[in-house]
Structure 1
Amino acid sequence: MRRTDGTSERYVVGVDYGTLSGRALVVRVRDGAEVGTAMREYRSGVLESVLPDGGPALPPDWALQDPEDYRDVLRHAVPAALADAGVDPSQVIGIGTDFTACTVLPTLADGTPLCELPELRHRPHAWVKLWKHHAAQPYADRINALAHARRESWVGRYGGRISAEWQFAKGLQILEEDPEVYRRAERFIEAADWIVWQLCGDETRNVCTAGYKGIRQDGRYPSADYLGQLNPGFADFVTKLDGPLLPLGGRAGALSARAAAWTGLPEGVAVAVGNVDAHVTAAAAQALEPGRLVAIMGTSTCHVVNGTRPAEVPGMCGVVDGGISSGAWGYEAGQSGVGDIFAWFVRHAAPAGTDSHERLTELAAAQPVGAHGLVALDWWNGNRSVLVNHDLSGLIVGLTLATRPPDIYRALLESTAFGTRMIIEAFVDAGVPVTDLVVAGGLTSNRLLMQIYADVTNRPLGIIGSAQGPALGSAIHAAVAAGAYPTIHEASAAMGRVDEGVYQPNPDNVRTYDALYAEYRALHDHFGRGATDTMLRLRAIRNAAVRTTAATTDTILEVLR
């Protein structure tokens, strides 16, 4: 393809790795036009009960993945996207990727995943731990307790509590539950960086995951002395994280011959530094200015916003210098379950005739705000922010014999908006302004949900102008890595897009939601801040019962063998 001035158009490829699939997007460099796309589902999906080739039953709260599925995205989605675009691969100047986080894997020094070694393939800890692997909560609790006892300076940068999802909690779990796998792991790496390693053959680390997920603040990780107090064998953990640390939008290397054969792209094109799906979306949504909070809503929600200075915000996921874009302090918070909660209700609780999002949304939209008499807590997958406790669980209050499925569905939609308001208020109370919201992700098509968010937060709500926000963001970073733009800000201005103020708060709805939010907040604090440990005790009872059942099943299978 050629421009009217006779010069060839230039393109970049963005690859977005999600929870269940990977998507490739071909984007025109000069204006961000999306000219081709393709998707590849992971063959193994999320491993929550057993490994692909058998082995022991996985305990509760585990979530693993197969790294081969990630390579398959490069082999299938990228060539298909190029074919869909009708673009000559020689016109592609770079490729960028983003990933769910904290999704991590142990590897050898050359990047070989331990789960691909025959002698370790049946060891669960050798596999990729997906972001929603929450079985490391006890280890996160120990990390937090010791950090406060020692008054570690970094803990305040993470809202006072490290999540069970982050690198150090998952690493400590491996050490104490499978020391052999820990010993064999010469590298412990975010999938965001591992896939870049696969693309260019060079091991790199990005400042985003290192800062938010790897407890790297002010140029250093937690000390060996601190880690050794957690477990003497853990003192060397940081050596497994070492690698060249590069800024977002930087060039990690050149596409290798092997990866060129996978993707159909020319060998040698620029490979951008890895990034996180949520953080990379801010550029796609033209939301790099301080105060514009981006909510990337899908199975879960991640909230990112730039600020002008560092502040300690209770319960946030982290604040990192340059964590979203250079020249600003990037803040992150999140909700561990959003779309997953709505999908749970449709699949498992809605009766025939109402068991679709479309029908439930239609019925829920017909009722006035507050007419259902319900309030719910959005903790079906634990709480990431602001309580940082994945052992918490969901709750619905106000059920009566008159309650109907659309009432519950609407209450669940509202509960996630209340959770986002909690996060916004935590930012604002700490001196981090949030002036407006931009929403990205698959849930933007639900107009009722979007209006609820505008009303609950009492802020205008814009919608990203792309159905492929993370992939577009990765493509923007690829354009910078390839030298087409000098900065992410300039590339975002040219290639990103947003529909401003699509949803405005309705004053009448705002008043009613203020009253409902007060009830949500009372329940949030009662069940989440120590007034009662009912949810934690129920989780412990459930886990004990599941482990007993699994042990019995394994014994029976062993006898049958």
Structure 2
Amino acid sequence: MSGELVLGIDIGTGSTKGVLARPDGTVVATAVREHPDAMVMPRPDHAEMDAEAVWWGDVVAVCRELVTPDRAVAAVCVSGLGPCLLLTDADGAPVRPAILYGIDGRATAEIAEQTERFGADAVLERCGTALTTQAVGPKAAWVRRHEPDVWSRAERWFSAGSFAAFRLCGEYVLDHHTASQSVPLYDLGESGWAQDWYAEVMGHLPAPRLAWAGEVVGGVTPSASAETGLAAGTPVCAGTVDAWAEAYGAGVRATGDLMLMYGSTMFFVQELAGPAPHPQLWNTRGVRPGTTSLAAGMSTSGSLTAWVRDLTGGTPFETLVAEAAAVPPGSDGLLLLPYFAGERTPIFDTDARGVVAGLTLRHRRGHLYRAAYEGIAFGIRQILELLDTEADPVRRLVAVGGGTRGGLWTQVVSDVTGRHQDVPAQTVGASYGDALLAAQAVGLVAAEADWASVATTVEPQAAHAEVYDELYAAYLALYPATRDVAHLLAGLQQRGAGAAVGGRP
């Protein structure tokens, strides 16, 4: 089997990426399917995606591009954005668009109700994580309440990776990590479904069989073979959430290792020695059997830089980065609060809104773009300080994702946080971690194999510490100072959206 290849695919918020790799980690070929407009926000705080067209359609397209008669694929693993809630019929046909992860904040009432029903302390102790917009249970309750006809037609539920696995091999499974993010359905201590809470929240929907991310759960079916070009019987792994697959591929394995993912949203995954429930962080199962991780997520990062680009008439990112680099640290007194889609960690406020403070007629687009980098970096610093309060503080920071390629963004983050960042040599992303999981699953490499190597290390510049410390204090004060006004404006936006769709509540 030494000459065979493994296929990793990741379904992301803005694109789907695939990689074919050899057992030694050498990349043979890659494929990308951009879907920048696939995330639909039909109302404020609602974030959805067409799973049939985007998730499965992209998997098929990537397979068709990468799988050829001269490339023998030994195994395939698919990860994806999550945790999501996709409801389907028994055959896996979606009955409504998928409701996305924590950036979808529709279920605030259901979060409050389930927190009261099960008890905040009990949820934290049993699930390792408080009920937030990241949780699946409240979103299921939202559909059950607001779309009863849809709920009655649903017979299965999926996240992105498990949906791809089902369509590839016909097995109804969910990996332990994604399940552990599906609060309050999973018991972290027992590493299994919380049977009583699951039955109450999910009703008639059966629980998927649990598996670990790198576990082979079935073989490619003849029908999936005809669609994708993969040989029938090709082993299919369970897969997991994209950030965890990327952390795994980037070599985040030791206690205290933390991955910082520069994507459409900013995401953090830290390896722990054992469970550590925290009300403002997500304590979950990891990729490998028995492992535990701590995670956090911001609602905007790359999506915010794209907003600045679009706002300035589609200015190329290279131009914006060059202009921002010419602006001094601190953006000449411009401070940005990056809550343009609400915020997840640490405030968990879907009605938070973006703020640009200190604008003058002297400021130009380069100032705004640099202020966006700095605002995101201040949010990163706030979360890193929160992670450091745990029993296993952050010891090594690994930076991954598209945002690491320009250089300025990672430098700003190191300057603001005062921390070093290792940037891996391989920047394919989560699909690379998927390929490694596939290789391990079928014995092409050892279970302990690690393909990661460090290409560069970003060092903080001490000369910028004073101005960033001063601005960071202002950043921490800005949200409490503007929260009430932001909530008022969010209410006006929501009422306006309701009128736009016929006044529905």
Alignment TM class, shorter chain as reference: over 0.9
Q: Which residue of 2 aligns with 1:52?
A: none
Paired letter, 1:251: V
C-alpha distance in structure 2 between counterparts of 1:68 and 1:498, whole Å: 37
Q: Does 2:177 align with 1:208?
A: yes
C-alpha distance in structure 1 between counterparts of 2:117 and 2:240, whole Å: 30
**Is the Cα contact below 8 Å between 2:124 and 2:279 reproduced in 1?**
no
**Is the Cα contact below 8 Å between 1:376 and 1:415 reproduced in 2?**
yes
User: How big is the alpha-carbon RMSD for the aligned residues of Structure 1 and Structure 2?
Assistant: 2.4
Residues 483 and 156 (structure 1), Cα distance of their counterparts in 2 relative to 1, 3 Å cut: closer
Name the structure where helix makes up a greater proportion of residues. Answer: 1
Q: Does 2:268 align with 1:303?
A: yes
Q: Which residue of 2 aligns with 1:498?
A: 454
Q: Which residue of 2 aligns with 1:283?
A: 248
C-alpha deviations, 1:71-111, integer Å up to 9, x for none? 2223321121235xxx723x321000010012221122343
Residues 169 and 9 (structure 1), Cα distance of their counterparts in 2 relative to 1, 3 Å cut: same
Residue 73 of structure 1: which of 50, 53, 58 is its match? 58
C-alpha distance in structure 2 between counterparts of 1:193 and 1:375, whole Å: 40
C-alpha distance in structure 1 between counterparts of 2:431 and 2:229, whole Å: 18
Matched position secondary structure for 2:56: helix
Paired letter, 2:230: L
Matched position secondary structure for 2:319: helix
Matched position secondary structure for 2:501: helix
Q: Which residue of 1 aligns with 2:467?
A: 512
Residue 341 of structure 1: which of 298, 304, 318 is its match? 304
Unmatched 5+ residue regions in structure 1? 1-6, 49-57, 115-125, 228-233, 555-561
Q: Does 2:291 align with 1:328?
A: yes
Q: Does 2:2 align with 1:37?
A: no
Residue 61 of structure 1: which of 45, 61, 66 is its match? 45
C-alpha distance in structure 2 between counterparts of 1:328 and 1:421, whole Å: 26
Paired letter, 1:135: R
C-alpha distance in structure 2 between counterparts of 1:550 and 1:263, whole Å: 38
Paired letter, 2:70: D
Q: Does 2:105 align with 1:129?
A: no
Matched position secondary structure for 2:455: strand
Matched position secondary structure for 2:324: helix
Paired letter, 1:499: A
Residue 545 of structure 1: which of 474, 496, 500 is its match? 496
Identity %: 28
Residues 330 and 150 (structure 1), Cα distance of their counterparts in 2 relative to 1, 3 Å cut: closer
Paired letter, 1:136: A
Residue 150 of structure 2: which of 159, 181, 201 is its match? 181
C-alpha distance in structure 1 between counterparts of 2:195 and 2:145, whole Å: 19
Aligned length: 499
C-alpha distance in structure 1 between counterparts of 2:347 and 2:179, whole Å: 22
| Displacement of 1:42 | 4.8
Runs of 4+, deviation exceeding 6 Å: none
**Is the Cα contact below 8 Å between 2:19 and 2:431 reproduced in 1?**
yes
Q: Which residue of 2 aligns with 1:558?
A: none
| Displacement of 1:515 | 1.7
C-alpha distance in structure 2 between counterparts of 1:211 and 1:236, whole Å: 15
Alignment map for 1:223-372 (pairs within 5 Å): 224=196, 235=200, 237=202, 240=205, 242-316=207-281, 318-321=282-285, 323-348=286-311, 350=312, 355-372=315-332
C-alpha deviations, 1:104-130, integer Å up to 9, x for none? 21122343322xxxxxxxxxxx22123
C-alpha deviations, 1:6-37, integer Å up to 9, x for none? x85121000111123322211111x1111111
Unmatched 5+ residue regions in structure 2? none
| Displacement of 1:221 | 4.6
Residues 325 and 436 (structure 1), Cα distance of their counterparts in 2 relative to 1, 3 Å cut: same
Matched position secondary structure for 1:134: coil
Paired letter, 1:133: D
Alignment map for 1:328-477 (pairs within 5 Å): 328-348=291-311, 350=312, 355-477=315-437
| Displacement of 1:516 | 1.3
Matched position secondary structure for 1:533: helix
| Displacement of 1:428 | 0.7
